Amino acid sequence: MGIDFKDQVAIVTGAGGGLGRQHALALAARGAKVMVNDLGGARDGSGGSATAAEAVVAEIRAAGGEALANSASVTDFAAVEAMVAQAVTAWGRVDILVNNAGILRDKTFAKMDLADFELVVDVHLMGAVNCSKAVWGLMNAQKYGRIVMTTSSSGLYGNFGQSNYGAAKMALVGLMQTLALEGAKNNIHVNALAPTAATRMTEGLMPEAVLAALKPEAVVPAMLVLASRDAPTRTILCAGAGTFEAAHITLTQGVWLGTDAQTPERLAERLAEVTDPAGQMVPQGGSAQGANEVAKAMAHLGTSAA
């Protein structure tokens, strides 16, 4: 088995069912000690019970693996810190964090209550922030860490009725981009996974034949690669039904148009040229946009940046 997690400790949030359960089982099967976290609530985030997490722990132990259950809400930073402390007390370290916990409260933006928008952002985005923050010091101290954010095509490309979910999921990509840069010096790799899988979260949203093809297990290989010792960093992997793709936030070459009173008109006339994907790049950091813009301006003005 080429990818293994022997002697490593993993925390998987939202692991009481669906995709998170498959992540936890797969990590344990390949040697990881797994903290199975799940609030045990309904799809909309209501309620809570430790039963779901405990059932997955029982599965792992029955297969000869090592696991512990935790029912902390990822929105509660103190509870998340206690969860990390529980893992460290039991196993001495945390190597892997898979931020998978999430809820859905779908409605069109016109009909959506702001409380439902805020709660979805709180669980998906702040939940991942809380968990990542709770392990960040440990990972820096041990000079090793692998963090996987769960993004979504709804965030990357939009989806009708999911403005709250999409906003949270795209925000996770921004979080991933910066944490990957900040963690690089201490061998902390941070990536994002955009799964397409039939879980409790997708019930009623797709035809049965499609749901049958989209088994959660088909997404797991991407997570295993992103959490592995040889993982890339700052990568967005998409996965579903046995197909794997990569998504990129790109920057086109752009066009220098100046800054005079007629610039808006010139931009409107040449917008197709500005948005032309030919020669687009994947910037290595946020400063690349400014560098590209300044370089074009300096070239046009016949000067060079100091």
Q: Which residues have CB under 8 Å from 226's CB, separation 6+?
A: 146, 148, 189, 191, 193, 232, 235, 237
Architecture of the domain whose range is 9-247? 3-Layer(aba) Sandwich (3.40)
What pLDDT score was predicted for residue 301? 87
DSSP assignment of 180-243, as one string?
A: HHHHGGGTEEEEEEEE---SGGGTTTS-HHHHHH--GGGTHHHHHHHHSTT--SS-EEEEETTE
Residue of 106, 165, 216, 234 marked catalytic: 165
Q: With a cut of 70, say whether residue 48 has pLDDT above it.
A: no
pLDDT tens-digit map of 135-190: 999 999 999 999 999 999 999 999 999 999 999 999 999 999 999 999 999 999 99
User: Which residue type sits at 169?
Assistant: K
What pLDDT score was predicted for residue 252? 98
67: helix, strand or coil: strand
CA gap 214, 198 in Å, rounded: 5
- Per the confidence metrics, is the pTM higher than 0.95? no
CA gap 251, 253 in Å, rounded: 7
Q: What are the residue ranges of helices labelled H in the chain?
A: 18-29, 51-62, 77-91, 114-121, 127-142, 153-157, 163-183, 208-213, 220-227, 263-269, 271-274, 287-301
Q: How confident is the model at residue 304 (pLDDT cuts 50, 70, 90)?
A: very low
DSSP 251: B
The rounded percent of the chain whose pLDDT value lies above 90 is 87
Q: Which residues have CB under 8 Å from 1's CB, separation 6+?
A: 30
Domain boundaries, the chain: 9-247, 250-306
Q: With a cut of 50, say whether residue 306 has pLDDT above it.
A: no
Q: Is 165 a catalytic residue?
A: yes
CA gap 150, 128 in Å, rounded: 9
Give the mean pLDDT of 274-284: 97
> pLDDT averaged over the chain?
94
Give the mean pLDDT of 56-73: 98
77: helix, strand or coil: helix
Handedness of CA 115, 100, 134, 90 (dihedral sign): positive
The rounded percent of the chain whose pLDDT value lies above 70 is 93
Whether 100 and 151 have beta carbons less than 8 Å apart is answered as no
Q: How confident is the model at residue 305 (pLDDT cuts 50, 70, 90)?
A: very low
Whether 33 and 157 have beta carbons less than 8 Å apart is answered as no
Element containing residue 35 per DSSP (H, E)? strand 33-37
Closest CA to 132 of 169, 92, 85, 97: 97
